[in-house]
Structure 1
Amino acid sequence: MEPFSRRALLLTAPALLVPTALALSSAQTAAATAAKLTFRISNGSDLNQTLYLYVMGTDLGTGRLGYVDPAGNFQPWPAGSIPPSPAPDASMLGPGIGGTTSVLVPRGFSGRLYLAFGSKLDFRLTPDGLVQPDAANPPDPNYNILFDFTEFTYNDQGLWLNSSQVDMFAIPHAVTVTAQNGSVKRSGQLVAQGRNNVVQQIQALPDWQRSVIKRSDGTVLRVLSAGKATGVGLLDSGYLDSEINRAWNTYVNTPLTVRPFTDQPNIVFTGRTSGNVMNFTDSSGNFAASFNKPSSANVWNCDGNLFAPNDQVVGPIARTLGAALNRSTLADNSQQPALNAGTYYQNARTNHYARIIHANMANGNAYAFPFDDVGGFESLVYDPDPLSAGIEIGPFN
């Protein structure tokens, strides 16, 4: 668990969850009507262990952090302290094998639904908010617990729900949303033996095998994402540097064209490299943005030199660059974003975690790094006026 709430759960901005074009167009056509939305959590696993559920995040009306109680009401966290104080027990009992449990979520809420097998999670509070479990930090009290989470936003414009693998791949689960007419959208479902495939394929890569985290009894708890593994020294900090250098050098004399909005193809930015800086101009030739050459960690996490503010110029370009470098398409395709998934992850130095996660998804979609939604390849389901939502835990073996 990271001290002093360095990762306070503050999901007030659904930009990470909500594709901008989709959010705008849907908001114009419908509005969610249910004050409380039913999430049905089904346990199709083969684990004979108690399942605990938590719904935590932000009340979008007040901006306050808190949790959702069994009645579907938002409860703000009490004041925290330093050292961090225990949070109120917000757990709800999940279903046993083959069972289903319903959880109510109020409209105007954005956050995470945590799943934990075998033990309750240890949540703490500081004056800044909730300290999230740190799946990459052995001293964290939650490190040896098998847990995972799904991210969502439910507001007047509908429900956005995704099975996130940005931090880790742990509990196999799909997400669903049922529309008022009964139609169902599903994403995040693994292929047969998908969890075993992911673990075995990562373990087969010498540079990546340490990112598979096991308990002392041999239980595979999780596979850390590239960013998380790098952050704790389990992946070479300069692993992607050669690919980044190749991409940066490509555009010294060749223009890079970025069309960051698929629904607005006339918005175009052109980039060229000068030294370690890539400068972009808009369609009128005016300066738009510049980016210093990123580190491998910047690429994995889409931060630092690839930080993407919530604007209409720098952020969209940064998102596009980050996705292209994770997918190893930037040096080879001067028209970005590259939308042919068949060209992704083709180089030896690439985000193999993302490659393997996507390859083992039934529909090919996943959220394996920040801004994996560039091009629409994320494991997201959306409905402007949902009847219900679901999280379907799949088999481990």
Structure 2
Amino acid sequence: MRTRTVPAARRALPVGLAAALAVAAGLTAGIPAPAAAAVPTTIPLTFTNSSGRSEPVYIYNLGTLLSTGQQGWADAGGVFHPWPAGANPPAPAPDVAIAGPANGQSKTIQMPKFSGRLYFSYGQKLVFKLATGGLVQPAVQNPTDPNHNILFNWSEYTLNDAGIWLNSTQVDMFSAPYGVGVKSSNGTVKSTGHLKSGGYQGFYNALRAQPGGWGNLIQTRSDGTVLRALAPGHGIESGALPATAMADYVNRVWSKYTTSTLTVTPFTDQPGTKYFGRVSGNVMNFTNSAGAVVTSFQKPDSDSIFGCYKLLDAPNDLVRGPISRTLCAGYNRTTLLTNPNQPDAGGANFYQDAVTNQFARNVHAQMADGMAYAFAFDDVGHHESLVNDGSPQQAYVTLDPFN
């Protein structure tokens, strides 16, 4: 089993950081970069515990300073502290837990300017260790991970001079429910990530009823507590889901585009930039409008699709990365057979094939606003559970009910 150290994630950059850097580079349409003075050094972050649970809550604010690349943690006052040196084998990290609010209460801490994760756990503190390469994050697809039997979840964020990007994420697992929000300088509050009424149990019930081993993604503690459902890529890694889960769909895609063309228009603000995919043997080649091959993809396996990596690697460039992001979204949402022009941004045709990412389908189906980060590039077409603001005054994380 793999362990993970920051910033080893399957997507090339954390979601918020990728968005922030895109703004800085002028690559993201419609999100202007405001003056640095619009964003204070820290902003308040209010955790509200509406979970209905009696266990104590612990909060962790862990991340990386974008200016230096230094990894560390922030205390309740928003002061950044670098991690001490790691070891091999990994050594215990300092206890940096912040006592969270009891059920029915709120607690406000300060959020500094860095890119990181806001972990929260119920009943027990999380176990973090430091390797020579950095912080080892929980990897609960590994049954020997010390956090395997702890109920926890996390949000990702970037706060910098251009604003805040704060999301709820299910890229690695679906677990303790929560939503995120941000208040702008004009007083308006944007929020996302909240489940429908009954959505928490509804998700697990739907996954259990899904044939093909999808219910095996659910992990339950010995006392009967449902802890989480692994994302399907981790399910393949742990043996909970067949490695061939998407094989039939991939075979049909491969057959279709042997004799027809898949057109990818990866930038909404550049409709003239198009790439054309055709299959030849075990390779899908993409050409530009001049007919030159710009990149090629081998026939992907299920793990590459669910993780948007390996055979669907997406470097932070302007050609292969954007094409790969689009392909990854099309495979997970199973729109490649029904629409030869990608991305399919509408949503109505997502997850309609009998062979699809059932985890992502059910996550989106249970969200109050339909938005989620159920796989790494769920932001293609803007279906992600993300709040962004160029002049944030306050951020929010709400721990939602489990019923």
Q: Give the alignment's TM-score, normalised by structure 1.
A: 0.96
Measured against aligned partners, the alpha-carbon deviations of 1:264-286 in whole angstroms (never above 9, x if no partner) come to: 11111111110110101112222
Determine the C-alpha separation between the residues in 1 that align with 2:315 and 2:13. Answer: 13
Partner of 2:317: 311
The Cα of 1:10 is off from its aligned counterpart by 5.8
SS at match of 2:345: coil
Measured against aligned partners, the alpha-carbon deviations of 1:119-156 in whole angstroms (never above 9, x if no partner) come to: 00010001110000112111111100001000011111
The Cα of 1:248 is off from its aligned counterpart by 1.4
The Cα of 1:292 is off from its aligned counterpart by 0.5
Partner of 1:113: 118
Alignment of 1:300 with 2:306, yes or no, is yes
Determine the C-alpha separation between the residues in 2 that align with 1:333 and 1:378. Answer: 21
The Cα of 1:23 is off from its aligned counterpart by 4.7
Determine the C-alpha separation between the residues in 2 that align with 1:150 and 1:124. Answer: 19
Q: Which runs of 5+ in 1 are unaligned?
A: none
Of 8, 24, 31, 2:6 maps to 8
Partner of 2:209: 204
Within a 5 Å distance, the mapping from 1:104-143 to structure 2 comes to 104-107=110-113, 109-143=114-148
Partner of 1:168: 173
Q: Which runs of 5+ in 2 are unaligned?
A: none
Q: Is the 8 A contact 2:39 2:160 kept in 1?
A: no
Of 245, 262, 268, 1:262 maps to 268
Letter in 2 for 1:115: F
Q: Is the 8 A contact 2:5 2:131 kept in 1?
A: no
Determine the C-alpha separation between the residues in 1 that align with 2:261 and 2:297. Answer: 15
Measured against aligned partners, the alpha-carbon deviations of 1:206-246 in whole angstroms (never above 9, x if no partner) come to: 32111111000110000111111111000000110010111
Q: Is the 8 A contact 1:248 1:331 kept in 2?
A: no
Letter in 2 for 1:144: N
Partner of 1:288: 294
Q: Is the 8 A contact 1:54 1:91 kept in 2?
A: yes
Partner of 1:75: 81
Determine the C-alpha separation between the residues in 2 that align with 1:87 and 1:9. Answer: 16
Partner of 2:377: 371
The Cα of 1:347 is off from its aligned counterpart by 1.0
Letter in 1 for 2:240: L
Of 315, 318, 329, 1:323 maps to 329
Measured against aligned partners, the alpha-carbon deviations of 1:5-58 in whole angstroms (never above 9, x if no partner) come to: x43336897563344478565344444421001111100101100000001110
Q: Is the 8 A contact 2:93 2:128 kept in 1?
A: yes
Partner of 2:358: 352
Partner of 1:236: 242
Q: Is the 8 A contact 1:212 1:222 kept in 2?
A: yes
Determine the C-alpha separation between the residues in 2 that align with 1:167 and 1:255. Answer: 33
Aligned positions, number: 394
SS at match of 2:258: coil
Q: Is the 8 A contact 1:176 1:391 kept in 2?
A: yes
Alignment of 1:41 with 2:40, yes or no, is no
Q: Give the alignment's TM-score, normalised by structure 2.
A: 0.94
Determine the C-alpha separation between the residues in 2 that align with 1:135 and 1:24. Answer: 36
The Cα of 1:2 is off from its aligned counterpart by 4.7
Determine the C-alpha separation between the residues in 1 that align with 2:399 and 2:206. Answer: 21
Of 99, 102, 111, 2:108 maps to 102
Determine the C-alpha separation between the residues in 2 that align with 1:2 and 1:118. Answer: 26
RMSD over aligned Cα atoms: 1.7
State, as a whole percentage, how many aligned pairs show the same letter.
46
Partner of 1:191: 196
The Cα of 1:263 is off from its aligned counterpart by 1.6
Letter in 2 for 1:158: G
Determine the C-alpha separation between the residues in 1 that align with 2:166 and 2:225. Answer: 28
Determine the C-alpha separation between the residues in 2 that align with 1:70 and 1:181. Answer: 26
Alignment of 1:56 with 2:62, yes or no, is yes
Determine the C-alpha separation between the residues in 2 that align with 1:13 and 1:72. Answer: 27
Inter-CA distance 197–316: structure 2 relative to 1 (3 Å threshold): same
SS at match of 2:216: helix
The Cα of 1:380 is off from its aligned counterpart by 0.5
SS at match of 1:244: helix
SS at match of 2:317: coil
Determine the C-alpha separation between the residues in 1 that align with 2:399 and 2:104. Answer: 10
Alignment of 1:225 with 2:231, yes or no, is yes
The Cα of 1:325 is off from its aligned counterpart by 0.3
Determine the C-alpha separation between the residues in 2 that align with 1:30 and 1:264. Answer: 26
Determine the C-alpha separation between the residues in 1 that align with 2:47 and 2:80. Answer: 19
